[in-house]
Chain A
Amino acid sequence: MKNCEYQQIDPRALSVSPSSAQNHTEKKAQRPRRKWEVFPGKNRFFCDGRIILARQSGVLPLTLGLIVVTCGLFFAFDCPFLVEHLTVFIPVIGGVLFVFVVISLLRTSFTDPGILPRATPDEAADIEKQIDTSGSSTYRPPPRTKEILINQQVVKLKYCFTCKMFRPPRTSHCSLCDNCVERFDHHCPWVGNCVGKRNYRFFYSFIISLSFLTSFIFGCVITHITLRSQAGKSLLQAIQESPLVICFFSIWSILGLSGFHTYLVASNLTTNEDIKGSWSSKRGAEDSGNPYSYNSIMTNCCVTLCGPMPPSLIDRRGLLPPDEATPAASASDIELPLFAAKNDTHMCTQSTKDVLERMVHSSDFHGLCPPGTPKTTPLEPEDSSTPAPSAEPSPSSTGCSQQHAHQPMATPCPPFSRGSKRDSLHSINPAFRLASPSPSLSRASLILGDAADTGFIPLP
């Protein structure tokens, strides 16, 4: 019975759970699907899962275009002149740098940055069980932080409500890609992907080689113009023919970025940590306070750039074993696209929603629980629904839960879900009658009815 309760924590995860629950069965479905097809994050996959990109590829085509156009102009207009007057190595060096830049860029964009797969429902249930040690009658949401000691320094691990797990240290959840990424640096729109543990070295080599390339082109173009103006041609005409303008503007930002990232690499920091100031000015006496730093520039650089290449944890191209609980999976598959447009700010009201969610799904979709199961659950919302929304999310970022409890919220709620919620609430009532006497029944249904009217998003 307890397992049944926990299984309904995240129906979205259920659509991927068959792959993990039965990972030792070798049966194949009629059309074996690959795991990337049911990947819950907002990523796009190409070449049957070999290539991974963020949902918004952002400015990647622009980046590629700028590089190609600049180099094209360089090769077309400057190289012939410089080969004549200087050396044939100019286009060779330019070509090598160009190839290096493009390969690094593509590797950064198409590599999995270190995405952590979401916790299976069993795992999520286990975490909640471990935390909820006071007793199982009252449902408390998992606390948002857990403190651990790393190298004798206290580090707070946050609980990720989307991925249903405590984030490992240095991991952050990217809202654009909707994934937890290990050693999250930043989400780079130029590259169209997050920069994290697995592709940081590609990103770094991209910006370093791009700095060299732009400096090289800039230098060559200046040389070209100087030589041409000495030869008597018009300066303006020479400038027009050159990729000088693009180079000039981009070179400063690229050089600045390279310098910044060199500093980060040398101190074993991520952009995320640096911006948040996680380790700086904590205690004046200690130096750096970064528990991950090896306190040596060489070691830090080697670790970040030349360390062992960790594998991709999401196994994009693995085959999905056929689902055991097909009705459940198909039901959650239907719901999945409807709730794809969820908002992060609604995460804080998840606790109450989870409880109500469980009751909805226990009678409607899954039918795994015997009718007597909601016996304990109906008592929970009437006890905790009113105090919980105001008390529980106080450490959270937004006050949306208070809105949820007291005012109707203008949330875009898909009509399908709302309708199903109302229907299932009516269907729960017989179960309520089984469990509790009529006064509390009316109170419980009143609270639930009120909650449904305020239009909260049913699924996390």
Chain B
Amino acid sequence: SRPTVFIQRDYSSGTICKFQTKFPSELESRLDKQQFEETIQTLNNLYAEAEKLGGKSYLEGCLACLTAYTIFLCMETHYEKVLKKIARYIKDQNEKIYAPRGLLLTDPIERGLRVVEITIFEDRSIGSGR
């Protein structure tokens, strides 16, 4: 299968969803460090927005509790809305930055929010001649 780079989770701030911004060496020939860091940082910020504790999320929580959580059956949660935003962002990044360089970002939600998977196409660096 194609070589893949996995960006693991960063748990230094607790259980919130955050990915490591360390630039993997396998991508050095393909991508700017800055672009990579910007992508991951934006993703981290988006997940932080999804999990943010504040007035709005508490309101949603209390309202849900009062309706015996039946409200979740018909309403989309704040988290789900942000996840859609993240999916759009990833698609956008793939189209603009990653696909032209022969890379593909996989949405972490498809990996259970464990990793950001970057698939490397056209092994120019490895030279095994696909």
Chains A and B are bound partners: yes
Give residues in A with beta carbon < 8 Å to B.
3, 7, 20-21, 23-24, 99-100, 103-104, 107, 116-117, 119-120, 122-123, 126-127, 148-151, 155, 157, 165, 168-170, 182-183, 201-202, 205, 291-292, 299, 302-303, 305-311, 313-315
A-B contact sample (11 more), CB < 8 A, given A104-B68, A126-B4, A306-B61: A103-B69, A117-B111, A119-B114, A168-B114, A292-B14, A302-B53, A305-B65, A306-B60, A307-B51, A308-B61, A309-B60
- Other-chain contact of B112, A150, A151, A314 (Cβ < 8 Å): A314
Tell me whether B77 is interfacial, beta carbon within 8 Å: yes
A7-B1, A104-B68, A126-B4 known; A313-B15 Cβ under 8 A: no
Tell me whether B37 is interfacial, beta carbon within 8 Å: no
Contact between chains at A100 and B11 (CB < 8 Å) = no
Contact between chains at A150 and B70 (CB < 8 Å) = no
- Chain B residues whose C-beta falls within 8 Å of the C-beta of A127 in the assembled complex: 6
- Other-chain contact of B60, A20, A99, A165, A308 (Cβ < 8 Å): A308
Contacts of B78-115 to chain A: CB distance below 8 A:
78-80, 83, 104, 106, 109-115
Contact between chains at B68 and A100 (CB < 8 Å) = yes
Tell me whether B13 is interfacial, beta carbon within 8 Å: yes
- Chain A residues whose C-beta falls within 8 Å of the C-beta of B113 in the assembled complex: 313
Complex CA gap A308/B54 in Å reads: 9
Closest CB in chain B relative to A98 CB, distance in Å: 11
- Chain B residue nearest to A157 (CB atoms) is B11
- Chain A residues whose C-beta falls within 8 Å of the C-beta of B111 in the assembled complex: 20, 117, 120, 123
Contact between chains at B79 and A310 (CB < 8 Å) = yes
Contact between chains at A123 and B6 (CB < 8 Å) = yes
- Label chain A's interface by main secondary structure: mixed
Map CB proximity to A onto B38-62 as digits: 1 under 8 Å, 0 otherwise: 0000000000001111000110111
- Other-chain contact of A311, B1, B61, B83 (Cβ < 8 Å): B83
- Other-chain contact of A122, B4, B11, B13, B53 (Cβ < 8 Å): B4
- Other-chain contact of A309, B1, B53, B79 (Cβ < 8 Å): B79
Closest CB in chain B relative to A385 CB, distance in Å: 29
- Chain B residues whose C-beta falls within 8 Å of the C-beta of A104 in the assembled complex: 68-69
Complex CA gap A308/B64 in Å reads: 11
Contacts of B13-47 to chain A: CB distance below 8 A:
13-15
A205-B65, A302-B58 known; A23-B4 Cβ under 8 A: no
- Chain A residues whose C-beta falls within 8 Å of the C-beta of B104 in the assembled complex: 24
Q: What count of chain B residues pass the 8 Å CB interface test?
A: 39
13 A-B pairs within 8 Å (CB atoms) are namely A7-B1, A20-B111, A104-B69, A107-B68, A117-B112, A122-B1, A150-B14, A169-B15, A292-B15, A306-B60, A308-B51, A308-B60, A311-B80
- Chain A residue nearest to B1 (CB atoms) is A3
- Chain A residue nearest to B49 (CB atoms) is A308
- Chain B residue nearest to A3 (CB atoms) is B1
- Chain B residues whose C-beta falls within 8 Å of the C-beta of A148 in the assembled complex: 11-12
- Other-chain contact of A305, B61, B77, B114 (Cβ < 8 Å): B61
Contact between chains at A308 and B83 (CB < 8 Å) = no
Best-buried of A100, A103, A168, A308 by chain B (most CB within 10 Å): A308
- Other-chain contact of A291, B14, B52, B69 (Cβ < 8 Å): B14
Complex CA gap A155/B12 in Å reads: 10
Complex CA gap A303/B11 in Å reads: 18
- Chain A residue nearest to B80 (CB atoms) is A311
A7-B1, A23-B106, A123-B111 known; A309-B72 Cβ under 8 A: yes
Contact between chains at B58 and A306 (CB < 8 Å) = yes
Contact between chains at B13 and A20 (CB < 8 Å) = no
Contact between chains at B80 and A168 (CB < 8 Å) = no
Contact between chains at B115 and A123 (CB < 8 Å) = yes
Contact between chains at B12 and A306 (CB < 8 Å) = no
- Chain B residues whose C-beta falls within 8 Å of the C-beta of A151 in the assembled complex: 13-14
Contact between chains at A103 and B79 (CB < 8 Å) = no
5 closest cross-chain pairs (CB), A and B:
A306-B61, A117-B112, A103-B68, A313-B112, A309-B77
Complex CA gap A23/B110 in Å reads: 8
Complex CA gap A345/B12 in Å reads: 32
- Chain B residues whose C-beta falls within 8 Å of the C-beta of A306 in the assembled complex: 57-58, 60-62, 65
Closest CB in chain A relative to B86 CB, distance in Å: 11
